[in-house]
A and B are shown apart, each in its own frame.
Chain A
Amino acid sequence: QKEVEQNSGPLSVPEGAIASLNCTYSDRVSQSFFWYRQYSGKSPELIMSIYSNGDKEDGRFTAQLNKASQYVSLLIRDSQPSDSATYLCAVTSGSARQLTFGSGTQLTVLP
């Protein structure tokens, strides 16, 4: 069974710090990786997508992918209280098109 694992947290960081969110996946043929942000009571919102090994930066967000280690991470620089949310790691594998989600990491940025 394909699994995506995340530390559930909660993870607390002070405002302005770097928040580091981690995700591992079990299916070696996983090909696409996504980070979604979900505020309480709201729907998932795409933050980043990454498809090849290495780093991908977009503003304050950096996604890192290491397929050999089956590991993907999200770094949030200069964290703001508005970043407080649950961050969901999602993966597509093989010919399947659906997203397999981790359980999410709850992030709190303290003012």
Chain B
Amino acid sequence: NAGVMQNPRHLVRRRGQEARLRCSPMKGHSHVYWYRQLPEEGLKFMVYLQKENIIDESGMPKERFSAEFPKEGPSILRIQQVVRGDSAAYFCASSQAARGTDTQYFGPGTRLTVL
């Protein structure tokens, strides 16, 4: 039962380094969403992608953050020049289609710690 997969599960970076977070959607799903959960805060939407397209990046910080979902391979959330405030749990979710009623299934998350 291949659910949404994320790796790494834990990632430690020093300030100024780059972080790459990977997400493989559930089998048969072609829509990927990234959310961030800061310590003691709720989940916040970052970006929504389909294969080779960014559909909505309204929740993504304008600088240092980028996302892609190539034709082959996982979706990648990239954070350049990380700062301590980037420390959070990053969750990926996938859905089969993009209707508002479609359920989004979450992966286990990547917990990023910036030293």
A-side interface residues toward B, CB under 8 Å? 31-32, 34, 36, 42-46, 49, 51, 88, 90, 92-93, 96-104
Contact = CB atoms under 8 A, between A and B. Distances in A.
A98 B45 contact: yes
Interface of B: 31, 33, 35, 41-45, 48, 55-56, 59, 91, 93, 95, 98-109
B91 A104 contact: no
B42 A96 contact: no
B91 A49 contact: no
A100 B42 CA distance: 10
Contact of A97 (B41, B42, B48, B108): B48
Contacts of A92: 100-101
A98 B59 contact: yes
A6 B56 CA distance: 26
A48 B103 CA distance: 10
A39 to B, nearest CB: 12
Contact of B56 (A31, A45, A98, A101): A98
B108 A46 contact: no
Contact of B107 (A36, A43, A46): A43
Nearest to A97: B98
A97 B33 CA distance: 9
Contacts of A104: 42
B108 A42 contact: yes
B59 A44 contact: no
